[in-house]
Amino acid sequence: MEAGGLEWLLVSMHQLVSWGAAGAMVFGGVVPYIPQYRDIRRTQNAEGFSTYVCLVLLVANILRILFWFGRHFESTLLWQSIIMIITMLLMLKLCTEVRVSNELNIKRRSFAAADSKDEEIKAPPKRSYLDFDLNYFWHWSKFTDYVQCVLTFTCVTGYITYLWLDSSLFVETLGFLAVFTEAMLGVPQLYRNYQNRSTEGMSVKMVLMWTSGDTFKTLYFILNQAPLQFSICGLLQVFVDIAILLQVYLYSYYPQKPVSHTAHPTSTKAL
């Protein structure tokens, strides 16, 4: 009886640990954005957060979900992608509302061509179809434009995936692109720090949170035998985080000659 009770206890503890790890994987990635969301909402200032973070994570997680249809990996990772997409859409909605409300000179930009009821005299000349001008791509004035762009990307990539779903080469490449895109999220910050020879304006606490989260995520991939692309790109993501932390040490203890720039550096991750 004692042996049986001990075995049941060990099995129960293992199950609880598994559930805890799965929950951490699903919701852990969005935790750093909660204080960022609350701060933007409180201050009504979204300048410290780059919406390109949302773009990168939306693309990465949409591709990961499509990869699942070609190669069924663990459902925990699938739910992680779904939760992250919802989180990024919420961040985009808040940032768009705050940015537009703070603009003195309203310049309406849209993903799809505006109709005659949308804009007033202050609006710029209407475009013929889609606003793919790189000068203001992903800087639209309405949240619905971002939704339209995301849906268009999802439909196009989904259709291509449907046509090539039987190709193992395409499916594996799709999985690699999904996790590689996410792994590259910190590279612009790394490069910007190098250009400025400084990490001023960057949240060290946030990078530490990303490093711990990415390390846990990578270990989870390895221990649960996730597709090889996940483990390789997870390690790459940890390497980028560590490189940024090394920049913090280097530029703090060995200050470099400042490089003149017109704009304050803003992190491509959440600041």
On the question of pLDDT at 271 being above 50, the answer is: no
How does pLDDT run across 190-242, given as a tens digit for each residue?
777 787 787 775 667 777 877 888 888 888 888 877 788 888 888 988 898 89
CB 69 within 8 A of CB 11: no
Q: What is the DSSP letter of 262?
A: S
pLDDT band at 169 (very low <50, low <70, confident <90, very high): very high
Q: State the pTM of this model.
A: 0.73
Which of 83, 86, 110, 82 lies closest to 96 in space, CA to CA? 110
On the question of pLDDT at 246 being above 80, the answer is: yes
Structure tokens at 260: 């003149």
pLDDT band at 260 (very low <50, low <70, confident <90, very high): very low
Res 203: pLDDT: 64
Domain membership flag for residue 198: yes
Res 82: pLDDT: 94
Domain membership flag for residue 115: no
On the question of pLDDT at 104 being above 90, the answer is: no
DSSP, collapsed to helix, strand or coil, labels residue 107 as coil
Domain membership flag for residue 243: yes
According to DSSP H, which parts of the chain are helical?
2-28, 33-43, 52-70, 75-102, 143-163, 168-183, 187-196, 204-223, 228-253
On the question of pLDDT at 10 being above 70, the answer is: no
**CA pair distance 172, 63, nearest whole angstrom:** 11
Structural domains in the chain (count): 1
Domain membership flag for residue 237: yes
Range of the domain at 151: 18-103+139-253
On the question of pLDDT at 44 being above 60, the answer is: yes
Domain membership flag for residue 36: yes
Domain membership flag for residue 269: no
Res 270: pLDDT: 40
Mean pLDDT, the chain, rounded, equals 77
Domain membership flag for residue 224: yes
Domain membership flag for residue 7: no
CB 29 within 8 A of CB 86: no
**CA pair distance 33, 28, nearest whole angstrom:** 10
* Ranges 61-65, 108-112, 153-157, 260-264: which has the least confidence: 260-264
